[in-house]
């Protein structure tokens, strides 16, 4: 299965765009796009949505859930796939994250989760 970054690079090249051109259209830095395309970092939800909208493809395709860019998986399959890994929101619902005895705010918790993911991908 292709990784998300591989699909982003494929779609960009298929359109004949440079990283600089696509990053401007998406409102992100060229460096961020480069990290996404090389699978060193994962785009956040808003960026994924913007990429899917720009290329007129489904998020299911971008996330590797289907090989057809226009296919959206039915709700039961999507729910099953989503249950395989907890989203940031589900983590925050199920666990209370604390540091030094103080509960993290939702924004702090999301940054903490993002930091751990970034460390793991290096």
Average pLDDT score, the chain: 82
Contact by Cβ (8 Å): 98, 104: yes
pLDDT at 1 over 80: no
12, 47, 56, 81 from 51: Cα distances, Å = 10, 6, 8, 21
pLDDT at 105 over 90: no
pLDDT at 50 over 50: yes
- Sign of the alpha-carbon dihedral angle for 34, 120, 47, 111: negative
Is 1-74 a domain of CATH 1.10.260.40? yes
What is the band of 106 on the pLDDT scale with cuts at 50, 70, 90? confident
- Sign of the alpha-carbon dihedral angle for 71, 51, 120, 108: negative
Query: What is the residue extent of each domain of the chain?
Result: 1-74, 86-122
pLDDT tens column, 84-93: 555 667 676 7
């Amino acid at each position: 299965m292709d990784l998300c970054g591989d699909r982003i690079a494929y779609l960009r090249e298929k359109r004949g765009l440079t990283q600089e051109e696509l990053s401007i259209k998406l409102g992100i830095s060229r460096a961020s796009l480069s990290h996404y395309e090389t699978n060193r970092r994962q785009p956040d939800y808003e960026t994924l949505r913007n990429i899917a909208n720009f290329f007129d493809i489904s998020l299911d395709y971008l996330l590797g859930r289907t090989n057809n860019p226009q296919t959206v998986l039915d709700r039961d399959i999507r729910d099953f796939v989503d249950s395989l890994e907890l989203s940031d929101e589900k983590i925050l619902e199920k666990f209370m994250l604390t540091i030094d005895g103080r509960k993290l705010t939702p924004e702090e918790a999301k940054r903490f989760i993002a930091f751990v993911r970034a460390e793991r991908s290096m």
